[in-house]
Structure 1
Amino acid sequence: MTDLAGSTPHASPLVVRSVPIDDPGSLLSLLPRDGSLAWVHHTDGIVGWGHATAITASGASRFADADAWWRDLATRAVVRDEVRVPGSGLVAFGSFAFSDSPGDSTLVVPSVIVGRRGDAHWVTTISSGSLATPPGLRTHTAARPADVVFADGAMSGAEWELVIADAVRRIQAGDLDKVVLARDLVAETPTPLDVRWPLQRLADRYAACWTFHVDGLFGATPEMLVRRERGLVTSRVLAGTIRRTGDDAHDLALAASLARSSKDLEEHEYAVRSVAESLAPHCSSMNVPESPFVLHLPNVMHLATDVAGVIDDSTSSLGLAAALHPSAAVGGTPTATAVDLIAQIEGMDRGRYAGPVGWIDGNGDGEWGIALRSASVDGERVRLYAGCGIVADSDPEAELAESQAKLIPVRDALGG
């Protein structure tokens, strides 16, 4: 476990102040090019920049190590919060690796955070040892990427179809019930990508999703892994997908067929059961709807279920995310068997794709999505990711088409 700022949990306490401000306009437009952090849903959310402190963690203990570091940091922090809404006060943005190995996870505490929640708008300053002056806010213009070239990632489409067929054979043989397999697409740009460009386009086109950026991982996820807010816990489960055509009447018929699809309903049931069983030990009561609803997004439709509960212990939002990860929606069923199979046949390092991404505050409340519809940036190279749930009657060609539909949001955002 390494503190990126070069300090230790026993360094000078952080001094935090949140104050109300006038409506700052588009949150994403406030981001400077370097050190940007974002979590935006519709027009609400938080963005940050600068660096107060951070931590990296890895291995099987990454969640526990980061959570312990955060609890110590929050306990010692001097906080003056004049806003007192979720997202004000002391906040860290986080992104966690899908697997125990390889991959690093991080919590980042910026020096400036700007937020909006309904009619409340605020700026938070965070510094070590002394109170910082709130900065003047101004808008910035993102640089559009030029000449983006796409290529296959770890596998071609045809190779990935063979992997899907292998997984289906194992499921039909009784080795497991479901496995979620992912593929990647590589984009190359002539100059380092200005991540603010695709972020703004994702937020504009997929406002119902949570648009995020943490340490080079960006995207717009439709799936809320867990939200903890003032004693209430919620989780949105998505599993079962069909591509939209753009014809409203046809899409309504497709939505009805999705809601009746035995393959998709089976996949969805596994995912809901996984979430409910993981949250149950932390809740005094829970509500798990009997049937899913169809969530309409611009490019696809999903079967969706919102699971809710009342928390009865001190587990933080990050601790709840750890308890839920990996759910059946991103791993499979049984989870341990599915994750082992992913490591054997998927053929790529997921990094932080499909891991928890979001934020946590000093009280342990926060929001953690699943890093889907996402990409990782390393200078001129961008890796886009998409995954599909594979069950006994999955068709490799159809799964490839579904993965291509899931790549569209980020792919189009890179192109403009």
Structure 2
Amino acid sequence: MLTKVISDFGSGRVRATTVAISDPGPLERYLSAKEPGSAFLRRGEGFVGLGEVARFETDYIDTADVWWTEIATQIDHDSELPGASGIGPLAVGSFAFDPDRSAFRSVLTIPRTIIGRRGGQYWLTQIGEHRNQTLPAPGDAPRFPEHLDLGHGTVTQDEWAGIVARCVELIRQGDIHKVVLARDLIAKADGPIDLRAVLGRLIERYPMTWTYLVDGMVGATPELLVRVADGLVTSRVLAGTISVDPDHTDPLAKAAQLARSTKDIREHEFAVESVAQALEPFCRAMNVPEAPSVLPLPNVLHLATDITGVADADVSALRLAAALHPSAAVCGTPTHLALDTIAAIENMDRGRYAGPVGWVDTEGDGEWAIALRGGYSGPDAPDQIRLFAGAGIVADSQPGAELEETRAKFVPMLQALGLD
């Protein structure tokens, strides 16, 4: 079942205008509490979206791709800038991890106004007639509630460690190679939580990640599911993690430990193989590095592999996201058995955590990350936010070590909420 809510799109055509602007400064400051907003930023580049001219709620990414392909043909785009990936009208989305078992709908929206920065270019895109081609004023200042309480989520830490132990037993039976298990925490405030403030702190502390704000989902993910730009496909696979405390441990020694870890290397190989197999039918050529590198973040180190390829004609970033999700990095392998195991023992609805989050343009180019290191706050409970973290479980996983990994992965959001 799917639902469309469309305001400015009907049977006729819609006009979009893109103009060059001077450097607008930090893009996140244009988000306002008075209207829906979205953001997808990394190292100061990307965009924020203000308002909505169209909204599409669905269960499946494939359906959203069909809808956006149709809508994109109705947009007449006038631009002062040369054609380039991501400059102009966009659809911004966040998708459920397991739509067959989730009460949460996936969503794709089209912002009314987009303010962007990339590669020394700055632009303003507006959709609809009689648009003012001047930069909007910054939004009101984000505010945090004065008090936040952090409680356990669907299960306690001890209960989750027991779930991990049960999962290891299932894996050792031989049919499943890896399962990614997640847990949640719930923070409650004395007033509505302004996700713009959370976003701002994540941007400040984790500029090397993809920081996102889409329909109640906010976070700072290090994992790029897929990027398509002018025919080039890129996917960053992260699997295999070790926590780092720079004040008390040597990051280089930790990196060497991670690179030698049989458990983490095996977990990473499963993830790389799943992404490469999913991309292959859509690419004329591919490059898969033989060995991973170590990606450093302030709180953890990851084994990382960047897979690249040349996309077949007319393959959109959203179509590739549908093919890639869920990868072994967030689900497990074999995929169908891992999904069944998660549904049977994880004891919670992930919603859109660990699902694709990102954008696609009218030519099909786009960037889709995996919604990790984040949380969700919805209109039904604006005074609380649900945080998520997960860990890849293989045959030699230890429940205590996996629990510690999730603690490290909660850190970015806890910091952003002032709860670290």
Considering the TM-score relative to the shorter chain, is it more than 0.5?
A: yes
* Match runs of 1:40-119 below 5 Å: 40-58=41-59, 62-83=60-81, 84-101=83-100, 102=102, 103-119=104-120
Aligned to 1:150: 150
Match of 1:392 among 390, 395, 406: 395
Q: Is the 8 A contact 2:85 2:230 kept in 1?
A: no
Change (3 A) 1:159 1:29: same
CA displacement, residues 273-293 of structure 1 (integer Å, 9 cap, x when unaligned): 000000000001000000000
Q: CA RMSD in A?
A: 1.3
Aligned to 1:415, what secondary structure does the other structure show?
coil
Q: 1:50 is matched by which residue type in structure 2?
A: G
- The offset of 1:118, in angstroms, is 2.0
SS of the equivalent of 2:308 reads strand
Query: 1:139 is matched with which residue?
Result: 138
| Residues in 2 aligned to 1:117 and 1:161: alpha-carbon distance in whole angstroms | 43
- The more displaced of 133-142 and 302-311 is 133-142
Cα distance, 1:227 vs. partner? 0.1
Contact kept, 8 Å, 2:211 with 2:221, in 1: the verdict is yes
Q: Does structure 1 retain, via aligned residues, the 8 Å contact 2:317–2:365?
A: yes
1:180·1:389 contact (CA, 8 Å) conserved in 2?
yes
Structure 2 residue 224 is matched with structure 1 residue 221: no
The Cα shift of 1:393 comes to 0.5
- Contact in 2 for aligned 1:19/1:82 (Cα 8 Å): yes
Partner Cα distance (2:208, 2:410) in 1: 17
Between 230-239 and 86-95, report the one with greater CA deviation.
86-95
Shift of 1:137: 2.6
Q: Which residue of 1 aligns with 2:202?
A: 202
Q: How many residues align?
A: 410
- In structure 2, runs of 5+ residues without a counterpart are none
1:160-171 residue pairs with structure 2 within 5 A?
A: 160-171=160-171
Task: State how far apart, in whole Å, the 1-side matches of 2:247 and 2:277 are.
Answer: 38
SS state of the match for residue 48, structure 1? Answer: strand
1:285 aligns with 2:285: yes
One-letter amino acid of the structure 1 residue matched with residue 317 of structure 2: S
Q: CA deviation at 1:10?
A: 4.7
Q: 1:239-278 maps to which residues of 2 (within 5 A)?
A: 239-247=239-247, 250-278=250-278
- Give the drift of 1:81: 2.0
Give the Å deviation of 1:135.
4.4
Superposed displacement of residue 169, structure 1: 0.4
Secondary structure in 2 matching 1:372? coil
Tell me if structure 2 keeps the 8 A contact 1:283–1:313.
no
- Aligned match for 1:410, one of 408, 413, 419: 413
Structure 1 runs of 4+ off > 6 angstroms? none
Taking the aligned partners of 2:200 and 2:268, their CA distance within structure 1 comes to 31
1:247 deviates by 4.1
Q: How many angstroms does 1:249 deviate by? A: 6.5
Taking the aligned partners of 1:236 and 1:53, their CA distance within structure 2 comes to 30
Which stretch has the larger CA shift, 93-102 or 108-117?
Answer: 93-102
After TM superposition, the score normalised by the length of structure 2 is 0.95
Gaps of 5+ in 1: none
- Offset of residue 87 of structure 1: 2.0
- 2:32 matched to which residue of 1? 32
Query: In 2, Cα distance between the equivalents of 1:77 and 1:36?
Result: 21
- The one-character-per-residue Cα deviations of 1:286-327 (angstroms, maximum 9, x if unpaired) are 000000000000010000000000012322100000000000
User: Structure 2: how far apart are the matches of 1:13 and 1:260?
Assistant: 57
TM-score (norm. length: structure 1): 0.96
